[in-house]
């Protein structure tokens, strides 16, 4: 796949022609709702094998080959050029596709209320071919260890049809928030624990779950070792039942990191006990905070590099958001929450307000500012083909187990095309 950033004066037709593709293919790949009105700075995925690259000043064949991780002789051969001749700035080179690596892919899906919306069902059906795991969020726990199930609709059938394992996500959510007290009861009361594990195993067998995923957040710091021991006992019972066990971890950068979200999450213990972990490497920019990239690559890298000091790479799933936010400025603590929106919606909004999309090189994330009809200033950060490709390159560089998306239901077609072109996706049920 080729990533192209729209420049002033370009059209779908001129961009497609530049890469030897058809306008129809570009429109379909990017699900363009206004193909005749592209936004300057918008990132498009061009559905071609390999990449087209234009030589920049100071570059040579060796540096270009190294940049794309390909063999120098192969670059010379496919472009039929003299390796000893200087390259002209602006010269067009074809970069052949690289060998792809295998990863696992998880995606959470969060139904609201008592029924599953048609949008979520359609999203699960459309994206399940790209998944190793499908994780309905979430089974809540009563204080006696019994479970409150989410509506599942036909998620089990969708997972089975696509050779994806269904994930039983268990949380300490209570009345809409993660409860420290509920978490404390679960990890310290053996009677509640036994009831909970009995119910989990029974539910897994009945519904067809293949993995049990513990997402216990904001546990009291003093219950850190209680949580570790709970996981050790849970792992033994779940393994005996033929189930995998995974956990969600807050994005820490050191073992001593303070804060109520972090302290009870012991990276070393989870890396030892669980089959794999999901690093929640997103929400630096969040709805109740100041405007910034949701998952800036520099912050994400810091978390992963710390995790690698505590556990092997083949246990780490990189967490990734499939959404962005629109903040009303100026930010005021406790003020108006930012609006969540899909990458497609973010592009449409930039078009509506006739603003260019910019790109932050440090965060590796797109953003823009606009003024609405009431005169209020807004700042929007979201994900695009460039930002998601940066995460894919990090996964490949550090040889991680895979990626975990929060969450299905918001349109981001470029992600799935790039995922498929970068990786072979492993399936648990084949």
Question: What residues are labeled active site?
Answer: 217
Closest by CA to 404, choosing from 160, 109, 124, is 109
- What are φ and ψ of residue 3, in 5° steps? -100, 125
Q: What is the C-alpha separation between 3 and 24, in angstroms, rounded?
A: 16
Strand partners for 278: 248, 317
Residue 394 near residue 303, CB atoms below 8 Å: no
Closest by CA to 228, choosing from 276, 266, 184, is 266
The answer to whether the Cα torsion of 24, 25, 28, 34 is positive or negative is: negative
- What are φ and ψ of residue 163, in 5° steps? 55, 35
What is 323-334 written as a DSSP string? -EEEEESSP-TT
C-alpha distances in angstroms, 12 versus 28, 125, 152, 244? Answer: 11, 29, 40, 46
Q: What is the C-alpha separation between 197 and 144, in angstroms, rounded?
A: 12
Structural tokens at position 228: 């570790």
Q: For tokens 């905070």, what's the residue? A: 289
Residues 6+ apart with CB under 8 A from 419: 105, 130, 388, 392, 403, 425
Q: What is the C-alpha separation between 386 and 167, in angstroms, rounded?
A: 29
Q: What is the C-alpha separation between 300 and 366, in angstroms, rounded?
A: 16
């Amino acid at each position: 796949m080729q990533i192209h950033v729209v420049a002033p004066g370009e059209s779908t037709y001129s961009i497609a022609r530049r890469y030897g593709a058809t306008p129809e293919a570009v429109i379909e790949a990017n699900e363009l709702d206004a193909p005749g009105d592209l936004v300057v700075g918008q990132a498009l995925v061009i559905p071609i094998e390999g990449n087209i690259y234009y030589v920049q000043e100071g570059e040579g064949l060796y540096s270009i080959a190294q940049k794309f991780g390909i063999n120098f002789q192969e670059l010379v051969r496919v472009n039929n050029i003299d390796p000893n001749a200087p390259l002209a700035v602006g010269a067009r080179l074809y970069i052949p596709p690289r060998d792809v690596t295998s990863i696992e892919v998880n995606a959470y899906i969060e139904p609201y209320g008592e029924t599953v919306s048609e949008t979520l069902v359609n999203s699960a059906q459309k994206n399940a071919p790209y998944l190793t795991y499908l994780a309905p969020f979430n089974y809540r726990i009563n204080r006696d260890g019994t479970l409150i199930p989410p509506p599942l609709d036909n998620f089990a059938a969708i997972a089975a049809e696509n050779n994806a394992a269904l994930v039983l996500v268990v949380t300490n959510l209570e009345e809409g928030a993660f409860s420290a007290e509920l978490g404390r009861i679960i990890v310290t009361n053996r009677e509640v624990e036994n009831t909970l594990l009995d119910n989990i195993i029974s539910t897994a067998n009945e519904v067809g779950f293949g993995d049990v995923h513990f997402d216990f957040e904001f546990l009291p710091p003093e219950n850190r070792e209680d949580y570790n021991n709970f996981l050790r006992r849970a792992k033994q019972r779940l393994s005996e039942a033929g189930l995998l066990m995974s956990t969600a971890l807050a994005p820490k950068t050191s073992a001593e990191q303070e804060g109520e979200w972090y302290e009870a999450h012991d990276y070393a213990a989870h890396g030892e006990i669980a089959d794999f972990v999901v690093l929640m490497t997103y929400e630096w920019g969040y709805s109740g905070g100041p405007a910034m990239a949701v998952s800036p690559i520099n912050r994400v890298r810091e978390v992963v590099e710390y995790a690698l000091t505590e556990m092997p790479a083949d246990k780490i799933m990189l967490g990734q958001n499939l959404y962005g936010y629109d903040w009303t400025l100026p930010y005021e603590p406790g003020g108006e929450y930012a609006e969540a929106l899909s990458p497609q919606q973010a592009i449409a909004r930039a078009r509506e307000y006739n603003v260019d999309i910019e790109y932050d090189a440090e965060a590796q994330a797109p953003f823009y500012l606009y003024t609405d009809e009431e005169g209020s200033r807004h700042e929007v950060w979201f994900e695009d083909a460039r930002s998601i490709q940066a995460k894919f390159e990090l996964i490949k560089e550090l040889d991680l187990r895979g990626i975990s998306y929060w969450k299905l239901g918001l349109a981001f077609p470029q992600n799935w095309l790039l995922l498929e072109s970068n990786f072979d996706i492993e399936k648990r049920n084949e």
